[in-house]
Amino acid sequence: MQTRTVEFAVGLFVLAGLLALAMLALKVGNMPMFGSGQYYSVTASFGNVGSLKEKAPVMLAGVRIGQVGHIGLNQQTFEAVVRLDISKKYDNLPVDTSASILTQGLLGEQFVSLDPGGSQRYLKNGDKIRVTQSAIMLDKIISQLLYSKAGH
């Protein structure tokens, strides 16, 4: 009888460990957790997205409010078009909100930062963010600095 109790306890422990590993994998992979599928999508065009990836965070004042849903290329303007999936909890972003691609730390991953405007009208599903700032390419800045110093 005691053997069955020990085997049952070990089985529960292993099951709990597997569930914890699955949740960790979802969190590390930026996969949405249960019940967090309520999003609306807006797009923004950038001249350069750098190393921005799908599922990268969309942040507002340092708080994650969504994720990058898709990155594509506009064949007419040759700009990158980024779809931002924003939680419906934040459905009061003004239409004059601006988007910037920033980097966490010096060598961290890139994310989209939103800066709300002052309009009384709000972004809704399918709208486009008009004011954007592309990713800053550190290697380009360094090479321009070195080139300008070598010329003098």
Strands 39-46 and 98-103: unpaired
Same domain? 22 vs 58: no
pLDDT score at 105: 76
Domain annotation covers residue 147: no
pLDDT score at 99: 95
Here the CATH number for the domain that contains residue 55 is 2.40.30
Same domain? 76 vs 18: no
pLDDT score at 125: 94
If one counts the domains in the chain, the total is 2
pLDDT score at 34: 47
Residues 6+ apart with CB under 8 A from 111: 52, 56, 57, 58, 59, 101, 102, 103, 104
Same domain? 113 vs 76: yes
Report how far residue 107's alpha carbon sits from residue 115's, in angstroms, rounded to the nearest whole number. 23
| Three-class DSSP category at 58 | strand
User: Mean pLDDT of residues grouped by 10 in the chain (152 residues)?
Assistant: 83 89 73 65 93 93 94 94 95 94 83 93 93 79 76 63
pTM exceeding the 0.75 threshold for the entire prediction:
no
Same domain? 100 vs 128: yes
Same domain? 47 vs 17: no
Look up the domain containing 93 and give its range.
39-137
